Amino acid sequence: MTTALAGTAEFRTLLEEELGLYLEEEDLDRPLDDFPDWDSVLLLRLVTVVERVVGRRIPVADLLEVRTFRQMHQVVTEP
């Protein structure tokens, strides 16, 4: 696991600073459909930012299958 995004707090900060998404810890378990601003463009922006932060490619196909931001965090922090 990368230390840059090891915790959900770091991940939430990245979502806020890079994408303008403000999430509380409990929001991480809500379905992505509950966030009207979330779309495929933001997903691609997130992939670009996370790849820069962690220094490796992120499997976009895996991200397309997630249903919550917590699941997304797990995908981006997997070794």
Residue range of the domain that includes 25:
8-77
Question: Does a structural domain hold residue 3?
Answer: no
Q: What is the token pair recorded at 20?
A: 């303008």
In this structure, the number of other CB atoms found within 10 A of the CB of residue 34 comes to: 9
In this structure, the number of other CB atoms found within 10 A of the CB of residue 68 comes to: 15
How many structural domains compose the chain? 1
Domain holding 31: CATH number?
Answer: 1.10.1200
> In this structure, what are the phi and psi dihedrals at residue 30, rounded to the nearest 5 degrees?
-80, 150
Question: Does a structural domain hold residue 1?
Answer: no
Farthest-apart Cα atoms in the chain, separation: 30
Task: Give the pLDDT confidence of 9-61 residue by residue, as tens digits.
Answer: 999 999 999 999 999 999 999 999 999 999 999 999 999 999 998 899 999 99
Per-residue pLDDT at 4 exceeds 80: no
**In this predicted structure, what is the pLDDT of residue 1?**
41
